[in-house]
């Protein structure tokens, strides 16, 4: 990237060429919808371009766009499913599944992507943001309009469900 | 538990979905378009701000607005005679009648604008600042488009609006000289067609009145 100025058109092209797979992939993990993921990256790029004078020289352009893309993806699922993150209580009750039931439900699952798809929206988004995007619980809570405790619970439940899936897969592999 | 989370995270991090090539191409193009638009916006005030031409533009706009207003009222004198609450639409069984012709003042101004634009495109040479020239045309075009819209000539407004993307494409930095020449030729042809149509309409009008 050019030194001492805001990112140039060439910097953006370079970032797209080298990192757009990661942005798209991250958005896809959040939205689980290729069209929404594509729109999120598109929105993020235009947003980043229009606000490039706000870009801090100490940061990396691709990381900055990545963060904007995640926010755009969250906005898009919020728009496509209004009230999704506010319906946390109802979502929490769905955790009453026993490990045995979960085991049975996951019988046909063969990889982690499918296991991730089995999580509720809130669990998946919280898990992706916390563990894959390495956001702090406080940041996730602020972005999703939840409190930190709810975020931690969602992540905990996500991990629990994924562990069951993983265990199941391991058993299958041994067979 | 920690080990499991690490395994999960590692597995998910490794899983990257490749963005389809057409999307990547589209993202590159969107940055180019945003940059071209921005250059256009920056160039416009530099090229366009001349007090005399600004005043002239204001005068033309005011005259157009007045002409459009008069033309509109002239075209539909019945509206003034209708009792309150009664509209033309109800007189025509709920169907509003479209305007018969482009108001005279608008047509005259538009004719001048199209002829000038066409000439400018024909006169382009290597010394011409094409970006500035195109943005001038776009600016004028928008004035006439707004006048057409206000003058109840939506079809004309739509035609004028359709010129804009072609003009902006011509102002882009990345356009190849051959493509630019072809685009200028196409634009010049389209403008000529429109001029002919306008001339025909106004002569039809003068014959009927």
Q: Inform me whether the pLDDT recorded for A69 exceeds 80.
A: yes
> Which residues in chain A are contacts of B26 at CB distance < 8 A?
42
Quote the minimal CA–CA distance from A145 to chain B in Å.
Answer: 25
- Asked whether residue B7 is domain-assigned, the answer is no
Could you write out the DSSP letters of every residue in A25-86? HHHHHHH--HHHHHHHHHHHHHHHHHTGGG--TTS-HHHHHHHHHHHHHHHHHHHHSTTTTT
CA–CA separation, A27 and B17 (whole Å): 10
Q: Is the pLDDT of residue A6 over 90?
A: no
Q: How many domains does chain B have?
A: 1
**Mean pLDDT of the residues in chain A:** 78
- Chosen for mutation from B5, B8, B13, B21 (greatest number of chain A CBs closer than 10 Å) is B8
Sequence ranges of the domains in chain A: 9-80, 88-174
- The answer to whether residue B84 sits within a structural domain is yes
Q: Which domain holds residue B116?
A: 21-208
pLDDT tens sequence across A10-41: 999 999 999 999 899 989 888 888 999 999 99
Span A88-174: which CATH code? 1.10.10.10
Query: How many Å lie between the alpha carbon of B36 and the closest alpha carbon of chain A?
Result: 10
For residue range A154-165, list pLDDT tens digits in order: 999 988 888 787
ipTM: 0.70
Choose the closest CB to B27 out of A20, A50, A112: A20
Q: Are A130 and B9 in contact (CB under 8 A)?
A: no
Which pLDDT belongs to residue A88? 46
* Assigned domain for B6 exists: no
Per-position b or e across A99-132, b if 16+ CB within 10 A of its CB: eeebeeebeebeebeebbebbbbbbbbbbbbbbb
CA distance, residue B174 to nearest chain A CA (Å) = 12
Right CATH for A9-80 from 3.40.50.300, 2.40.30.10, 1.10.1740.10, 1.10.3720.10: 1.10.1740.10
In a domain, B124, yes or no: yes
Rg (CA), chain B: 25
Q: What are the chain B neighbours of A50 within 8 Å (beta carbons)?
A: 34
The DSSP call for residue B2 is H
Going residue by residue through chain B, which has 209 residues, state the pLDDT in tens, using 9 for 90 and above. Answer: 445 566 666 766 666 778 999 999 989 988 988 888 887 766 655 544 555 555 555 555 555 555 444 444 444 433 333 344 433 333 333 333 344 456 677 777 888 888 888 888 888 887 787 777 887 888 888 888 878 877 777 777 777 777 777 777 777 767 778 888 888 887 888 888 887 877 776 666 555 54
Residues of A in contact with B8 (CB under 8 A): 112, 131, 159, 162-163, 166
Question: What is the C-alpha to C-alpha distance for residues A117 and A79, in angstroms, rounded to an integer?
Answer: 20
* Cβ contact B8–A112 (<8 Å): yes
Given an 8 Å threshold on Cβ–Cβ distance, is A45 in contact with B27?
yes
Quote the minimal CA–CA distance from B96 to chain A in Å: 38
In a domain, residue B151? The reply is yes
């Amino acid at each position: 990237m050019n030194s001492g100025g805001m990112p140039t058109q060439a910097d953006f092209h370079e970032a797209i060429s080298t990192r757009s797979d990661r942005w798209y992939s991250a958005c896809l993990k959040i939205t689980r919808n290729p069209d929404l993921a594509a729109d999120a990256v598109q929105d993020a790029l235009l947003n980043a371009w229009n606000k490039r004078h706000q870009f801090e020289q100490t940061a990396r352009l691709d990381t900055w766009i990545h963060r904007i893309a995640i926010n755009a993806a969250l906005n898009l699922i919020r728009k496509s499913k209004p009230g999704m993150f506010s319906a946390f209580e109802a979502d929490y009750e769905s955790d009453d599944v026993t490990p045995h039931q979960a085991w049975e439900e996951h019988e046909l699952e063969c990889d982690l992507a499918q296991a991730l798809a089995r999580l509720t929206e809130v669990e998946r988004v919280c898990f992706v943001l916390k563990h894959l995007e390495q956001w702090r619980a406080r940041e996730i809570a602020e972005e999703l309009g939840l409190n930190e405790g709810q975020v931690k619970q969602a992540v905990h439940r996500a991990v629990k469900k994924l562990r069951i899936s993983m265990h199941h897969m391991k058993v299958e592999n041994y067979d | 538990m920690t080990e499991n989370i690490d395994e999960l995270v590692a597995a998910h991090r490794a899983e990257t979905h490749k963005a389809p090539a057409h999307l990547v191409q589209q993202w590159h193009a969107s940055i180019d378009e945003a940059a071209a638009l921005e250059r256009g916006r920056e160039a416009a005030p530099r090229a366009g701000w001349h007090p005399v031409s600004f005043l002239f533009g204001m005068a033309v706009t005011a005259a157009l607005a007045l002409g459009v207003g008069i033309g509109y009222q002239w075209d539909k004198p019945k509206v003034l005679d209708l009792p309150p609450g009664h509209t033309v639409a109800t007189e025509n069984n709920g169907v509003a009648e479209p305007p018969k012709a482009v108001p005279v003042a608008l047509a005259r101004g538009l004719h001048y604008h199209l002829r000038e634009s066409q000439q400018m495109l024909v006169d382009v040479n290597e010394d011409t600042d094409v970006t500035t020239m195109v943005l001038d045309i776009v600016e004028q075009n928008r004035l006439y488009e707004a006048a057409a819209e206000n003058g109840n000539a939506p079809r004309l407004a739509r035609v004028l609006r359709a010129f804009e993307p072609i003009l902006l494409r011509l102002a882009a930095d990345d356009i190849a000289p051959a493509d630019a020449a072809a685009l200028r030729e196409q634009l010049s042809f389209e403008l000529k067609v429109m001029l002919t149509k306008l001339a025909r309409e106004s002569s039809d009008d003068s014959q009927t009145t």
